[in-house]
Amino acid sequence: MKQICILGSTGSIGTQAIEVCRHQGFRVCGLAANRNAELLAEQAKALKPDMVCIFDDSQYAKLKELLSGETIEIVTGMDGLCALASMEQSDIVLNAVVGMVGLEPTLAAIRAKKTIALANKETLVTGGQLVISEAKKYGVRILPVDSEHSAIFQSLQGNEQNRVNKVILTASGGPFYGKTTEELENVTVEQALRHPNWSMGAKITIDSATLMNKGLELIEACWLFSLPPEQVEIVVHRESVIHSLVEYEDHAVMAQLGVPDMKVPIQYALTYPERKNCETAPLSLTKYGTLTFSEPDEDTFVCLKACKEAIRRGGLYPTIVNGANEQAVALFLEGKIRFLDIGRLVMDSLSLKYDMESFDVSDIQAADLLAREFVRIQCLNASK
């Protein structure tokens, strides 16, 4: 029986991954959450994993009380998360945590020679150079869970990657597609959290609204598929039926289509190379009738432009824009800055000078902290 360790089990991807594991008869041997002790305890009681991790130390006592009487090892913090990611029992580690905190457990799992099902974008955005190098060193396969990268991965099957002209990432356009800068001046948190097609966590939903999500996916695609940014195109596709495409040198284009349901890419990562029956609705093309495509508006949604510039510069600049964005999104969700401030702060973070060609985890963390502090200072100065 295949054993799965799920990091970020209480989030949108994590809860759907648990449903997939139940449907496929996989055993969940490890669970990790940030601070939702109640749901983590509920999952642990139902699934009987060998180990659980509550990342937030302040929730440890609560989780321990909720799991009293259970023979489940409880760990906490980054050390606990890395111990869980490298536990001997697991065959696959599904990393669905949010933010840069996902980098270290990914590296721990790689060094323990675990297959990685990767839903945490920041692992490759901030540590792509290091992660890909370590994966090659330890002979570890990284399977994408993001619907777009899974679509590219599937469209590459049976073909030669060196014959690829470009990959095309599709974007829904988010809830504010077609809006002008003036129309976005007074966007509320509630409005930004209403995604037209996908059900996701708060942070990634805001990233979708700013198109930062697509910028991060562009950077991720460069690392996953060994492509320069010039070979990654982004197209707005409002229906979210075509999840991404690959154009080959003969101009043949392969695409993966399906209803917008994350269970499909989650399951493919967990069952690869096999395809199994999935608990999701089949695609009816006649229901949609028309599929539309357009270019993204990078002048209004400047986060995408910032990500393109960051990967073009290379080094730690992707970490800089990612850290700035994480801090800005947190401030927006707290009602402390406006929606358009997110893009402005991310773009401004590129003014930071952080040129390094070779770096380790501590350098990545330092760059991340620098970007976050930059955003905080900018906001303080603006409020004076």
Q: Which residues define the annotated binding site for Mn(2+)?
A: 146, 148, 217
Nearest to 262 by CA among 8, 4, 5, 17: 17
Alpha helices by DSSP H, listed for the chain, are 12-24, 37-47, 60-66, 77-85, 103-111, 121-138, 147-156, 189-192, 202-210, 212-224, 263-271, 285-288, 302-313, 317-333, 339-348, 361-383
CA distance linking residue 370 with residue 349, whole number of Å: 9
Phi and psi torsions of 154, nearest 5°: -70, -35
In this structure, the chain runs to a length of 384
Binding-site sequence positions: 10-13, 35-36, 120-122, 146-148, 172, 195, 201, 208, 213-214, 217
Binding-site sequence positions for NADPH: 10-13, 35-36, 120, 122, 201
Binding-site sequence positions for 1-deoxy-D-xylulose 5-phosphate: 121, 147-148, 172, 195, 208, 213-214, 217
> How is residue 258 written in tokens?
């399906």
The helix-helix angle for 103-111 and 361-383 (nearest 10°) equals 170
Contact 173, 236 (CB under 8 A): yes
